[in-house]
Amino acid sequence: MGVISKTIVIFTCFTSLYGQAVYPVDITNGLGRRFDGIGGLSAGASSKLLVNYPQKQRDEILDYLFKPNVGASLQILKVEIGGDAQSTDGTEATHMRNRNDTNYLRGYEWWLMKEAKKRNPNIKLYGLPWGFPGWVGNYTQNPYTDAGQLAEYVISWILGAREVNGLDIDYIGIWNERMYDIKYVKTLRKQLDMNNFTSVKIIAADYFGWNIAFDIMKDPEFDDAIYGIGVHYPGTSTSVGALQTGKPLWSSEDFSSLDDLVGGGCWARLLNRNYVNGFMTSTISWALIASWYEGLPYNGDGLMTANEPWSGHYDIETPIWVSAHTTQFTTTEWSYLQHGSGVGNLQYGGTFVSLVSPDQSQLTIVIETMSHDTSVCIRPKLPAYNVSSQSVEFNLKGKLGNIRQFYVRYSKLSRDQTFQMFTRKDPISVINGIVRLNLGVDEVWTLTTVSSGNKEVTTPPPSKPFPVPYHDDFEEAPVYSEPNNLSPQIGSFEIVQTGSPPNQVVRQTSLQPSVEWCAADSLPRSLAIIGSYQWVNVNISIRFNLDLPGSANGIFLAARINETGCDSHKAFGVFLVIYPTLNRYLLNSDIASLHTVQYGNLTSVPIYKEWNTAGLSVNGYKATAVFNNKMLFSISLPTSPEPGFYT
């Protein structure tokens, strides 16, 4: 019994003769909402370093994420539709740099989706844009300027997924964490149908809050266009209006917390309470995996961490096994039971959800008793609440009363010797429809009739720092891929073939301003970083060629870059800028060239038609630059910059 409000609070229990709270589990009066699955989100360049791992460790990581009955066994993979724009920890490549350009091999999200499907053919795929190439918005900052053109751009990505990569996209979003446009959503639905993508469902609007429900209820065509409402970081709550739409409700981005003990507690609480309190049938974690350089924003926020392809090291932490408590014993064909008949809050804190297979022959009950301090997520703020140890009794009724035994998985998220994750316990008997448990605090239990759960354990190589000296000639990299270990922060970089030695090179490929997702792209520069944010004294050198169509008129090298991600345009450090065609160089302390430390000309230095070399060395307060093996300067800097990345 309860009150429908922004947070649904339901307690349906009574006390047994043994003094235990009794909770009915029953399908006699029907089922709750259909379960849409638990997922991970690869976006914001969050999977950048994963593709570079040695194959053995890369396969192990992918198995932990996607392979059924190994680890997280994820049921949804959501990916960024790259737009050559900064989207949190880097840029992701677009499939369409202009209206006449299509390339469905760029970037790593195609590869990731294929690897996920290889391991689990039933995984659902979901695409969502962050930024866009500038032409999509007619070189304004509004991608909705031409709704038909934007729809064509998104549908071309879906078409490339199917025709080139053999992938069927199940869900498509609007624009990440930006306001939706009703005309565009309707246009997208019409064009999907016209292009034989009737099975692709629209999730709207990957934004904050449930206010889209008001527009859905007053516009039947808008209502028909949308399959489900997806919101970000809802705090396990929903709205009356969202419930009244009758649509599936999703937490289409959530978690965004460290993959440590508290992060695991956060994820356990979300996976249950998003349905118990908010009737949300899918919860998707950003990030799927923390596979970007340490020192970039939100370091370690993922279901697991793999940010050392040079060593092969990775970390399997609590969120993987918390996921398994649900995903290894359900599929997206299953349904939740009704609130009060298998779903609800526990009397002394914690929650439980029950799910049943389509033929109602299999049942899974997931219980969590996460305390406040062991389950704080990065956002939103978590109000105080109490949890205490308790004895509970589940009373299986009706058809479910025929169940005689549950297989059991157990986790204890503690900081002492009682810590354990996804431990197999002895099966528990169901006597006259009754199951009794003694629950402690910060525990996750799975009671299930499904016998196939499994926990695989591997031993990754030890952690090592980024290797120096480091050299890359890009000759072994796949064409159109991003360079290994080079992480674009502004603009987009990819491997291209030249037709003559050197046969393959890195080229900066963003020639026009993008439709920005964040302010980094407001700076008309390109930036890609490499190495360690703790580096202080390093030498870096490159060969470059500006004698190509569409090339810029200069290049820069930088050391000790102190800002990345969406703040890349604010970066300070040591920036050597060379303009060969202008016979000029600058040494700046910022990426925007507002603070010049040294400048000069190149009149005494040979400049070649195609390939030239440049180098920058920073050692303490001293900076030295060379161009085509001739020293440009060796000076003492006014101040010693902070440690940081190099480019």
Is 177 known to be catalytic?
yes
Q: Chain-centre distance of CA 491, in angstroms?
A: 20
Residue 250's DSSP bridge partners are: 230, 282
- Rounded CA-CA distance 622/639 in Å is 10
> Among all chains, which residue has been given the structure tokens 């950003």?
286
280-286 vs 37-42, strand pairing mode: parallel
Check if the beta carbon of residue 86 is closer than 8 Å to that of residue 566.
Answer: yes
Diameter over CA atoms, the chain: 96
Check if the beta carbon of residue 374 is closer than 8 Å to that of residue 411.
Answer: no
Residue 508's DSSP bridge partners are: 493
E-strand ranges in 119-200 read 124-129, 171-172
Q: 115, 152, 253, 443: which one is catalytic?
A: 253
DSSP string, 88-99: SSSB---S-SST
> Among all chains, which residue has been given the structure tokens 């190439």?
133
Check if the beta carbon of residue 628 is closer than 8 Å to that of residue 613.
Answer: yes
Ramachandran category for residue 187: left, alpha or beta (phi over 0 → left; psi -120 to 50 → alpha): alpha
For residue 37, what are the contacts with CB-CB under 8 A and spacing of at least 6?
74, 75, 76, 124, 282, 327, 332
124-129 vs 228-232, strand pairing mode: unpaired
- CA distances for 110 relative to 22, 91, 166, 624, angstroms: 48, 15, 10, 42
Is 253 known to be catalytic?
yes
DSSP state at residue 14: E
Question: What is the CA angle 174-176-181, rounded to 5?
Answer: 40
Check if the beta carbon of residue 508 is closer than 8 Å to that of residue 531.
Answer: no
- Rounded CA-CA distance 362/355 in Å is 8
Check if the beta carbon of residue 291 is closer than 8 Å to that of residue 235.
Answer: no
- CA distances for 326 relative to 444, 457, 599, angstroms: 10, 19, 61
Catalytic residue IDs: 177, 253
